Amino acid sequence: MIENNKKLKELKHKLDKFESTKEKIATTKKESGAGFGFKISTEIIAALAVGVGIGLIVDNFLNTKPFGLIIFFILGALAGFLNVYRVMRRIEKQ
Amino acid sequence: MAAKGEKHSPLEQFEIIPYSKTEFGGYDISFTNSSLSMIITVAVITLFLTLTVNPRSIVPSRMQLISELMYNFIAQLLSDTVGDNGKKYFPFVFSLFMFVLIGNMVGMIPYQFTFTSHIIVTFALASVVFIGVTILGFVNHGIKFFTFFYIPGVPFYMHPLLIPIEVISYLSRPISLSVRLFANMLAGHTLLKVFAGFVVAMPFFTGALPLAFIVALTGLEILIAFLQAYVFAILTCLYINDAYHLH
């Protein structure tokens, strides 16, 4: 009985050791540079596309050509930077 | 692949080929190679998961272990990002993850169509997530959901500028989610075909060089296929989390 307990303890120790190495691998896994750049660029492009889309719609309905496009293009660009900032902060946290 | 034909475009693989012409209410709803690929994906997922988990052994076989790993992976992801509220959304996130993952993997089989390389497919998936999460936000917080666009601790005169920016940032979510998956798959598969073209075009046995490169690229593509499915799943989890905890 005592021997079994000892064995169990040893096994537990081994398992703990294994678990700790597993976590280390997971945290040290890094993304490639290209993947990172891609992530950032899609964030900016998506926000810009939405900004331009809203600008064109606003121009269409209010006949304010081209001011809606200009304003919402700038707002879209700022939103893109905000997205990039959020992504960066999320990565920093990890 | 056009071995003898005139076409050698690396983009030829993304062509939609309808197998039968059907129209419904003015819309073309033909059964295409994309639909076939999706049906294969769903069939593979269903068969794999049901057959491997069927024995329900305490000590799992290797195949059962794979299914359990996938289950644990998404369950862990949800509990890490959303917390206890996340359990309800497991079926949704798991189906989404498996559909994208197996879709990408099926696409890696030569001669097989990759449906995730079409933006309309990924955009439809992202839209489901976006609309669902927005509805979820309204269900949880009611009209107070709009305070999501209001950043506390900012001087009041900044709000007319910041609220439109926040709204645009929110609306850009489905686009960035879909474009990321679509562009990765499109770029990867195009690159593979471009290098495959080099194998034929290069003189003597130098074609072995790009061939070796293709082998390495295929490995990378499989990694990207998994990574993109993971990114899709984790972003869905983060958006669900946002619908629960504003800020």
Q: Are residues A24 and A3 in the same domain?
A: yes
Q: Which of A92, A93, A81, A89 is nearest to A40 (CA)?
A: A81
pLDDT tens digit sequence for B59-99: 888 888 899 999 999 999 999 888 888 888 999 999 999 99
Question: What is the domain range of residue A58?
Answer: 31-94
Contact status of B76 with chain A (Cβ, < 8 Å) = no
Q: Identify whether B3 is part of a domain.
A: no
CA distances A67 to A37, A50, A53, A71, B198, Å, are 32, 16, 13, 6, 49
Q: Are residues A47 and A25 in the same domain?
A: no
Confidence category of residue B8, pLDDT binned at 50, 70, 90: low
Q: Are residues A46 and A78 in the same domain?
A: yes
Least confident stretch, A4-13, A56-65, B96-105? A4-13
Q: What is the pLDDT of residues B145-183, one digit of tens each?
A: 888 888 888 888 888 888 889 999 999 999 999 999 999
B184 with A38: Cβ contact below 8 A: yes
Contact B176 A47 (CB under 8 A): yes
Task: Please answer yes or no on whether A79 and B169 come within 8 Å at the CB atom.
Answer: yes
Helix (H, G, I), strand (E, B) or coil at B20: strand
Chain A residue with Cα closest to B238: A90
pLDDT, chain A, mean: 82
Q: Assess whether A25 and A38 both reside in one domain.
A: no
- Across the interface, whether the CB atoms of B176 and A75 are under 8 A apart is answered no
Mean pLDDT of B137-144: 88
If one counts every other C-beta atom within 10 angstroms of the C-beta of residue B150, the result is 13
Kindly provide the ipTM of the predicted complex, given to two decimals: 0.75
The domain total for chain B is 1
Which is higher by pLDDT, B32 or B6?
A: B32
Q: Is A51's CB within 8 Å of B168's CB?
A: yes
Q: Could you tell me if B72 lies within 8 Å of chain A, comparing CB atoms? A: no
Q: For B183-208, what is the mean pLDDT?
A: 87
Q: Which domain holds residue B164?
A: 12-244
Whether residue A43 sits in one domain with residue A20: no
Q: Which residues in chain A are closer than 8 Å to B183, comparing Cβ atoms?
A: 38, 42
